[in-house]
Amino acid sequence: MRPTVHDIAAAAGVSLATVDRVLNQRPGVRHVTREKVETAIRELGYVRDVAAANLAKGRTYPLVFILPASDNSFMHGLNAEIRQAILRSPAERTDIRAIEVPAFDPAALVGVLEGLSREKPCGIAMVATDAPEVRAVVDRLVHAGFPIVTLVSDLTGSLRHHYAGVDNIAAGRTAARLLGRFLGPRKGKIAVLAGSMLVRDHRERLEGFTSVMAEEFPDLAILPVLEGRDDPEIAHMLVAKALGNADIVGVYSLGAGNRGLIRALKEKAVDRTLTVIAHELTAHTRAALIDNTIDAILNQNAGHEVRSAIRVLKAKADGLAVIEAQERIRLDIFLKDNLP
């Protein structure tokens, strides 16, 4: 049975009010009395339930999500999950707001982070642009006591507290294995559509993809990466131009901008000679799976990522440990046959 504040008071020979003052580090307790209470706490093995204490005090956690302003379906879905979290705020004792910054713009992200350092929220969750200046300001904020979680795209090498997202190297390796197996003995070229090499998730997916392709499918040559900036119009233009190469037998879309990809595929590959692997299950990619424009989708659950970021930020604000197994984000593989 877990020791209680009553047990501490009895062991130390003091009142409950005195125990409360010591636990909450309030003045008005003599040094010798404080030592008695602290000794009782250690000897009894008392562990304070910070979350319950904050609930009793009615504490609210102001949290900020920083997202790229982008016209792609995945980011729309991520925004929708944050709006759902805002609706849950009264029950979860959070005060959440979202800030959009221009996509792939390190200076804009740094500016927002520096502004938040003056506001002092309980925690910050951000889709990271991997740049030295971003890493530097994140490290300064962490040193100043701000809990920070990276969301979807990580900022490795920084002092951020947690990453809420899938293993992107594993995702790229999975995409390569699927594409290579689907193509079988065919030889040819593979077009790769990314958003930007400024974000770590895209670089890591490409790293995993090229590694497996080189090791296990040497007859499939990867073309120079197309950077569509997760913009459907730019993606459409780049893919439509690339598909003029008759030797292309497969496409790997490792970022967003899939609406543009799908439009280009429908315009060019009406005979379905291409094998296509893409990321993120949205209304558009779901329809493309069903009509065989796309062969497989690798998906991360945006709702799980948002909920995980909130749990971690609240835990860090309270000085509590994070349950790593609960916060592990799963990579799902969807074909037209197993759509949820």
CATH number at residue 173: 3.40.50.2300
Considering the domain architecture, whether residues 78 and 153 belong to the same structural domain is answered as yes
- Averaged over 289-316, what is the pLDDT? 96
At 181 the three-state DSSP class reads helix
Q: Which of these ranges, 2-6, 49-53, 214-218, 325-329, has the smallest mean pLDDT? A: 49-53
Distance CA 109, CA 127 (A): 9
Let me know if residue 77 belongs to a domain.
Answer: yes
Let me know if residue 336 belongs to a domain.
Answer: no
Considering the domain architecture, whether residues 201 and 325 belong to the same structural domain is answered as no
Q: By percentage, how much of the chain surpasses pLDDT 90?
A: 76
Q: What is the pLDDT of residue 281?
A: 97
Considering the domain architecture, whether residues 275 and 223 belong to the same structural domain is answered as yes
Let me know if residue 54 belongs to a domain.
Answer: no
189: pLDDT strictly greater than 60: yes
Considering the domain architecture, whether residues 39 and 100 belong to the same structural domain is answered as no
Question: Please, are residues 169 and 207 in contact by the beta-carbon 8 Å criterion?
Answer: yes
Distance CA 159, CA 201 (A): 18
Considering the domain architecture, whether residues 283 and 187 belong to the same structural domain is answered as yes
At 51 the three-state DSSP class reads helix
Tell which residue, 152, 142, 157, has the closest CA to residue 67.
152
Q: CA of 243: how far to CAs of 183, 219, 237, 238, 250, in Å?
A: 17, 19, 10, 9, 10
Q: What is the pLDDT of residue 58?
A: 60
The beta strands (E) that lie in 116-165 are given as: 123-126, 148-151, 162-164
Determine the structural domain holding residue 260 and report its residue range: 168-300
Any idea which residue has 């990314």 for tokens? Answer: 194
Considering the domain architecture, whether residues 202 and 223 belong to the same structural domain is answered as yes
Let me know if residue 10 belongs to a domain.
Answer: yes
Could you tell me the sign of the dihedral formed by the alpha carbons of 281, 282, 287, 288, in that order?
A: negative
Which token pair is 330? 């799963």
Let me know if residue 335 belongs to a domain.
Answer: no
Considering the domain architecture, whether residues 110 and 228 belong to the same structural domain is answered as no
If one counts the domains in the chain, the total is 3
The conformation of residue 293, written as its DSSP 8-state character, comes to S
Radius of gyration of the chain (CA): 25
pTM above 0.75, yes or no: yes
Which token pair is 274? 């291409």
Let me know if residue 34 belongs to a domain.
Answer: yes
Considering the domain architecture, whether residues 183 and 282 belong to the same structural domain is answered as yes
Residue 113 CA, distance from chain mean position: 17
Let me know if residue 340 belongs to a domain.
Answer: no
Let me know if residue 243 belongs to a domain.
Answer: yes
155 phi-psi bin (left φ>0, alpha ψ -120 to 50, beta other): beta
